[in-house]
Amino acid sequence: MLSFEQLRAEHPDDARLAAHLGVNYDTCHLAVEYEEAAEALGAFRAAGIRISKLHLSAALKVTPDADTRARLKPFEEDVYLHQVIERQPDGTLTRHRDLNVALATDSKADEWRIHFHIPLHCPDGEWFASTRDHIDGVLDALQTDPSLCSHLEMETYTWEVLPAEMKNLTVVEQLVNEYDWTLAQLRARDLA
């Protein structure tokens, strides 16, 4: 796999690279990895890597006690992989390929972040939170520098596999709420 540096070295005079080569920044994926938005975006800028699209998506964030682990069982489904990254008390990260693998462990972690796209407008629950704080960090950076990226995409695709307690609206109603939430966040930053 070629890196950005290798491509630039092999094609030093090709202006198409700067104009068309970039990364799709997925807020869910970076938040699950415990990345901070300002640091991640700064690293891309420092490397001269263009952000071609911002995927606005939120993951689950939980403290994996016995009650929470039981409540996570309905999120197990066979359609998507739900990688789990747990942060140990000493700050180290342990990665699990899917939620069922993580649930089968005797975890002593402080926090799990689970790659399960929950609706952007979904409020934190009594036993879970979301990684919307990462989205806030990205939108704050976009407010500071609107040229960072002009292509934003809401990326919740789990509508049909949400646990029953989160499926209290139709998909159309959920999409409308997600658009409303996103537009409100953009308006609050004078971006819409």
> 31 vs 107, 135, 189, 190, CA distance in Å?
20, 9, 21, 24
Confidence of residue 57 (pLDDT cuts 50, 70, 90): very high
Asked if residue 1 has pLDDT above 60, the reply is: no
pTM of structure: 0.89
Bridge-based pairing of strands 58-62 and 93-96 is unpaired
